[in-house]
Structure 1
C-alpha cells in the first residue's frame, strides 16, 4: 500500500527533516510545500532522499486565508500527476510527529482501506462558532486600504451568504488522511464548481471546512469517519494549539492516535526523543 505524505511547512528545516525520517517506509513518499515567503535553500538537502519531492507551485500562505487551501490543492495536483497509485494521502504540518512507527501506520491504513479520516462536525448543530465564517463576508484574501471597513459595511447592508450548491457545511481540523479517489474527486469538483471556490475565498479559515464539506456532500459520505487520527491539545485556549512537551508524554501514549501536533524540536526536543525511543520498542 503506497502512502503519500503531503507536508505543509514554513520553517524549521531540521525539524521537517526529522519528521520525514521518522515516517520513512519502503511504500512512503513525501511531497513538501514550503511557503513561498520562506527561502527554500535550507530545505533542499532533503532531496537526497529519493522519495522526497517539493511542490513546484508554491503559495504565499497566510493564516486564515484561502492560500492554505490552494497550497494543499497544489500538492494534490502534483501527487495525482505523478501517476503513482497511492492508496492514501496524509496531510501533515511541518510541526507534526508520529506517535506510532511507520509500519504500524501503513498496516492500519491497509486494514481500513477506503475510509476517509477527517473531522466533520456540523456547523449548524455542533460547531456553532464557525457559523459566521460561512454566513458573513470575509475579505481575508484581499489587500487594500480600508479593507476591514469595507468588510464591516458589506456585512451590515447585505443579507447572510447562502451555501452554494445547497452544501451542508461541516469541518473542524484541517489535517486529515484520505484516499487518492477522494483527492481526485475534490480536484474535479472544484474545477466544475467555480462558484464554490469563489464562496470559500470569502470564508475565513476555509481550510478547516472546504475539504470535509465537499466529501460530506458526495458519495464519499458513508466512508467518512469522524476521526482525523491526530492528538491536538487546545486546552490553553489560544488560536494555535499547545506546543507539546515531556509533560504530555502520558497523554500522547494513551491517546490512541497515529500523529500529534504541535512540536518544536528547538525548544522542546525531549518529547520527540522519547517518542523515537518508544518506536524502537514497538
Structure 2
C-alpha cells in the first residue's frame, strides 16, 4: 500500500504558445501524485508568463524547435534528463501545451496504478506499405536543414530529392547504427520511469544512433519507438496511448478542435484521458467545455 501511496507521475509538456492555455492545462492536471517538466520553445518568449511552482520544472537551456527537425527529439530528451534529476517517477506522460484532460486526475492516476509496468506506445513496424517508400525515406535519406520545411515549394523539391536518393541504393545512408527492426508512431506516449531511464542509457551507449537522426526527416516518430520496441520493454508495450486526436476532419491535420467537436469528442474519445489539439485563439468555448469534463 505504501508503494502505491508514493506513486509518482511526470508530465513532459512541450509548449510554444498561449501561456494562458498552458496554465489552464497545468492547473487542471495538478495532483499530489504529479509533477510537470516543461520545455518551452526557445523562440517563444513565454516562460515568464507560465505558472512557477515547486511542482513545475523548466528545461534551463531549451532548444529552438522546428517542425521535422532533430529539435523535436532533443526537447523530449532534455525533459527526460530533467526528470531524472528529480528522482524516480512511475510514469512519464508526453503531452503538448495544447492538450487538455478529458477525465479526472483520479481516473488517470488509478488507471496507471492498476496497469503499472505497461508501456503505452502507439506503433507500427516499418517498412509500412501504406506510405511512400514504406516510410524508410525518413532515415535512409540525408536531409540538409533547408529541405525540412512545411513550405509547399520546399516540399515539392524534397519529394523529388527523396525519390532520387531512394531509387539509387548507393545514395542511401548506411543504417548500421539502427536496429534491424524499425518502428514508427506517435511521440505522445506514456512510459514507465524504467523505460525512460533505458532510453537515456541507450543514447549514451549508441552515439551513432543519435547522430543519424540529426539529419533525418520527422525522426521523432521513429526515434523513441525503435529503442523501446527493440528492448526487453517490447513485451510490456500496449499499442494505444489513451489520447484523442482528430486526423480525419481537417482543415488542419491534426484538427484544432472546436465547439462543434464536443459531442464527437465525448463519443469517440471514450477511454481517452487527454485530447489535442485545442487553441484558445481559435475557440475558447471548447476549452472551457472540456475543462468541465475533468
Pairs within 5 Å for 1:64-103: 64-83=68-87, 85-103=88-106
Match of 2:3 in 1: none
The one-character-per-residue Cα deviations of 1:76-122 (angstroms, maximum 9, x if unpaired) are: 00101112x21001101100111111111011111110111111111
Q: How far 1:276 sits from its partner (Å)?
A: 2.2
Question: In the alignment, which of 166, 171, 174 is matched to residue 159 of structure 1?
Answer: 171
The corresponding residue for 2:113 is: 110
Q: What residue in structure 1 maps to residue 193 of structure 2?
A: 180
Deviation at 1:127, TM superposition (A): 5.6
| 1:140 Cα deviation after fit | 3.1
The match for 2:19 is 13
Listed as ranges, the matches of 1:80-229 within 5 Å are 80-83=84-87, 85-125=88-128, 128-129=131-132, 130-140=135-145, 152=161, 155=165, 158-163=170-175, 164-229=177-242
Rounded to whole Å, the distance in 1 between the matches of 2:30 and 2:24 is: 10
After TM superposition, what 4+ stretches of structure 1 lie above 6 angstroms from structure 2? none
Give 1:249 shift: 1.5
Offset at residue 253 of structure 1 (A) = 1.5
Unpaired segments ≥5 residues, structure 2: 1-6, 149-153
Partner of 2:273: 258
Pairwise CA distance, 1:172: 1.9
Task: Give the match's secondary structure for 2:143.
Answer: coil
Tell me if the contact between 2:16 and 2:46 (Cα under 8 Å) persists in the aligned partners. Answer: no
Q: Deviations over 1:128-151 (max 9, x none)?
A: 3422212222223899xxx979x9
List alignment gaps of at least 5 residues for structure 1. Answer: none
Q: 1:141 to 1:13 in 2, by over 3 A?
A: same
Does residue 26 (structure 1) correspond to residue 37 (structure 2)? The answer is no
Q: Is the 8 A contact 1:64 1:205 kept in 2?
A: yes
Q: TM-score, normalised by structure 1?
A: 0.89
> Is the contact made by 1:167 and 1:213 (CA closer than 8 Å) also made in structure 2?
no
